[in-house]
Copies of this chain bind each other. A is one copy, B any other.
Amino acid sequence: MARVVTLADVARSAGVSISTASRALNGIGELSDETRAAVAAAALELKFQPSPIGRSLRTQRTMTIGFVVPDISTPFFAACLKGAARLLGASGYRVIAMDSDRSVEGEIEALRTLVWNRVDGLLLSTTGLTGGEFEEITTAWPTPCVFFDGVLLGAGAGCVTLDNVGGMAVLVGHLADHGHRRIAHVGGPQNESSAVERSTGFKSAAREAGMTPANTLEVFSGWDRESARRVAHALMDDAEPPSAVVASSDDIALGCLRAFRERGMSVPRDMAIVSFDDPYYGELLEPPLTTLKVDPTEIGSRAGDLLLEAIQDGDGGATRGDRDPACVRLPVELNPRRSCGCT
């Protein structure tokens, strides 16, 4: 059984002590060129791979990052993961992805396991963690944390989100340009920061567009298509239904679309719709969906970037306080298709 090659083997083979071998391989301290070469040769010869475990035990770093999102099987979060993993991988970090199952308890449990496993950093999209809960978890073992998409303001070492307010302005403005005066927003769960931001963004954009409060309807659903569908039905039952809807996400838009279809309504004739997120199948829907293009991969990599910085700064993120946690806001872009009334 191919016993694993240890540093001791390399040292013996090179005829030096273990510590010399270690120093040679890590390029630390003053070594004679001969020994350095001899050790390198021996390591190569034996195909030595330093044990991450032994190293971690000693250095107290695991080169591992924890990644927690509400639902990893969602294209959006899967892409975030990809972006983060790629960026962090380039710096030698592995990432462990965990699912919070769209619940705060799940989130807490995931974070606990991750911290317990001594990850060097955390990437978290929260669905409503409180500052206190967050403190309690990271206080057990200080671990820098960068929030993304679902953020907890003032906590952690930074955050990256989409320009939710700006996006809503674009969406509502576009609908208004099409002549709509009674616009509804189907929003996401209000315990999540991005859902909240989109809601406030919607309201101020509506005001900006000259709509009266009475004409700005707003209802909330989960992020899933099914609950969006139900909510959309309820919206249509309003005494005075809207003439256009802005959906807070692609899945919500899909739910709405389904509801409209169930009522025999034609989009955009009977009802216009636009949405956040630009799913790749948007163009092939009937009608093609007008959306806000976002780049989830970028969210992940920017978050990874910020985390790397925080880790460098050391102190488990304790060294902020002087400067505010960095917050990146990623731009979004309108992708006009037919569902809004464009031709």
Q: Give the A interface residue count (CB, 8 A).
A: 54
Residues on B with beta carbons closer than 8 Å to the beta carbon of A139: 2
B284 and A140 form a contact (CB under 8 A): no
Supposing A2-B139, A75-B75 touch, asked if A85 and B62 sit within 8 A by C-beta, the answer is no
Residues on B with beta carbons closer than 8 Å to the beta carbon of A141: 2, 4
Name the residue of chain B whose CB is nearest to the CB of A250.
B281
| Residue in contact with A280 in the complex, picked from B86, B118, B254, CB distance below 8 Å | B254
Residues on B with beta carbons closer than 8 Å to the beta carbon of A285: 281, 284-286
- Distance, CA A57 to CA B151, complexed state (A): 36
Of A17-25, A46-54, A214-222, A235-243, the one contacting chain B is A46-54
B85 and A78 form a contact (CB under 8 A): no
| Interface residues of A, Cβ cutoff 8 Å to B | 1-2, 4, 47, 49, 51-54, 56-57, 62, 64, 71-75, 77-79, 81-82, 85-86, 89, 94-99, 113, 116-118, 139-142, 225, 254, 257-258, 261, 279-281, 283-287, 297
Besides A53-B118, A57-B57, A285-B286, 17 new A-B residue pairs in contact (Cβ under 8 A), listed by A number: A2-B141, A4-B141, A47-B140, A49-B116, A52-B116, A64-B96, A73-B75, A75-B75, A75-B78, A78-B78, A85-B98, A94-B98, A95-B96, A254-B284, A258-B284, A284-B285, A285-B285
